[in-house]
Structure 1
């Protein structure tokens, strides 16, 4: 993976970060930075520290976030956040809007927009990509009669959303438009399920919930499974709810909305990270057919799995993000993902 060039981020990469940028003490609070310098700092960080491939519209996203009332914060203020998070702006409620730099894979969701409270154990998925976030912001603003977001998006607005597209679509609701034209969003999918329940149509709700969970819309993300386990329990399907909860526990625990304990209890399991891991390993052994050889994991897979369990321990309330950051970086380095490991280490105070 090569560092992004000037064309990748839509602006010339400024000088490389000095060593002090990665190691000097920083305030834990999300101190705002001047709007005039925020875009350049974020572009440089994404380009040179996170080494993000592709062409993420970082500058446009930051301007839109500010137009929505958020305050830009330094991308280097990563203390108390997920090791793969790049903070962008602070929301009025205090949470931070961030980019999540996956180590690899997660096709279609390589650089999602997420929300996290500093020192919070859970990370909420807002949009699968920068482009989907911007498309939604422009469509919703037009429907609401505003213009600040479109002005902030500038020349990118037309490429991301054609003015009048929502009305021209003839779709009955904004949620329907977003799902068909803009992308997939967890909150939208969950509202569609709730709309069926509000009409008393339990079967359609279950079908929509299954569609939300099973169609690989959100690779590597636990929330769709958590939501469906809760939905099944709500309509009296306890055994199915338990089975889905056990699948959910194989996803990152920090990607649940309501936390680890709820899924653990729904799965009818007990204990913390060590106990749940042992129970899952036992389930894997029991599922192997007699005479079938269990697939041997590569060293890379083993190291990435160990990194996942370190982060699960944070979601379980057993450790903090800053406490596991070094260990996660070590596992990724051992897996051969040196750029990701260096990115994680850059957050150390």
Structure 2
């Protein structure tokens, strides 16, 4: 069995615990076989999609229909999305599977985050929508809640200018305006709204719908393509403040800093911020976990993924 350092072992283990701890150094080293026990469903009360109420996953049926018709914006799995079992043992125990990609096998899920004090959190907040896969240590954030994701789908469908797009907008608008959802999203989406604003699809979504991690990453890349380092960093730093409790935006920020000259220490510090947040939020795959460990200077920079977790 491959030996791994106590520090990185505790990081991976924490990705599967119910209440991630901020103090990583206090964990003892565990074998990889023992780490698997942290992903067992018995560690947390799982909730099926049919049990979720409107305050957690708004308009579940509409969400699944829109995902099946349009796909999941921001997803890296791609492919047609189909319904899936309400319980998938090999998924991270905090995830509620909603749809599955026929191509990649990735799942679109709701994230059932655990709060120590629900009243302190202002009640149970809407569940973020994420992407993950079986036996993966983490997940990829797609949207802060289902209404954000559905509104984005409507915008993209409208911007396509197709008949199918009009049908998707009609599907999204069905039931809105009747007080079933939060006031901010209870108004119907009007055809032509993206074109009317005149800033393009991505900027319309960020301005009129909500924050999305992949759009901020795209914005940073576009600025870098125009050799505007300062604007790229501003976009990445803005994203860090939009997704509270998620390490993935800091991981993206660390990658950006690492690509720039004389920013190694800043990249290291940004990567280490990921390790002070729930570990399952910093990325979806083992490769992403290994990359962050290298950027945080907890592992060598030239080895393979397996070498990144060796002592």
The aligned counterpart of 2:67 is 65
Kindly state the Cα deviation for residue 155 of structure 1 after the two structures are TM-superposed.
Answer: 1.0
Kindly state the Cα deviation for residue 267 of structure 1 after the two structures are TM-superposed.
Answer: 1.3
Does residue 234 of structure 1 match 2:253? no
Verify the 8 A CA contact 2:156 2:201 in the aligned structure 1: yes
**Local SS of the residue matching 2:195:** helix
**Local SS of the residue matching 1:259:** helix
Relative to structure 1, the CA distance from residue 144 to residue 53 in structure 2 (aligned partners, 3 Å threshold; closer, same or farther) is closer
Verify the 8 A CA contact 2:84 2:97 in the aligned structure 1: yes
**Local SS of the residue matching 1:147:** helix
Verify the 8 A CA contact 2:98 2:107 in the aligned structure 1: yes
Give the TM-score, by structure 1 length. Answer: 0.59
Relative to structure 1, the CA distance from residue 127 to residue 55 in structure 2 (aligned partners, 3 Å threshold; closer, same or farther) is closer
The aligned counterpart of 2:105 is 94
Relative to structure 1, the CA distance from residue 229 to residue 243 in structure 2 (aligned partners, 3 Å threshold; closer, same or farther) is same
Relative to structure 1, the CA distance from residue 129 to residue 147 in structure 2 (aligned partners, 3 Å threshold; closer, same or farther) is same
Kindly indicate which of the two structures has a greater share of residues assigned to helix. 1
Does residue 46 of structure 1 match 2:52? yes
Verify the 8 A CA contact 2:90 2:135 in the aligned structure 1: yes
Does residue 164 of structure 1 match 2:192? yes
Alpha-carbon distance between aligned partners in 2 of 1:101 and 1:220, rounded to the nearest angstrom: 13
Alpha-carbon distance between aligned partners in 1 of 2:142 and 2:57, rounded to the nearest angstrom: 19
**Local SS of the residue matching 2:114:** coil
Verify the 8 A CA contact 1:196 1:202 in the aligned structure 2: yes
Q: Find the partner of 1:192 among 219, 243, 268.
A: 219
Paired residue total: 226
Alpha-carbon distance between aligned partners in 1 of 2:236 and 2:229, rounded to the nearest angstrom: 10
The aligned counterpart of 1:22 is none
Q: Cα RMSD (Å) of the superposition? A: 2.7
Does residue 116 of structure 1 match 2:142? no
Verify the 8 A CA contact 2:49 2:96 in the aligned structure 1: no
Alpha-carbon distance between aligned partners in 2 of 1:252 and 1:259, rounded to the nearest angstrom: 14
Does residue 84 of structure 1 match 2:94? yes
Does residue 250 of structure 1 match 2:298? no
Alpha-carbon distance between aligned partners in 2 of 1:74 and 1:156, rounded to the nearest angstrom: 26
Relative to structure 1, the CA distance from residue 194 to residue 102 in structure 2 (aligned partners, 3 Å threshold; closer, same or farther) is same
Unaligned runs of 5+ in 1: 1-40, 272-315, 319-349
Verify the 8 A CA contact 1:135 1:160 in the aligned structure 2: no
Alpha-carbon distance between aligned partners in 2 of 1:111 and 1:186, rounded to the nearest angstrom: 16
Does residue 153 of structure 1 match 2:181? no
Kindly state the Cα deviation for residue 247 of structure 1 after the two structures are TM-superposed.
Answer: 1.2
Q: Find the partner of 2:245 among 220, 232, 241.
A: 220
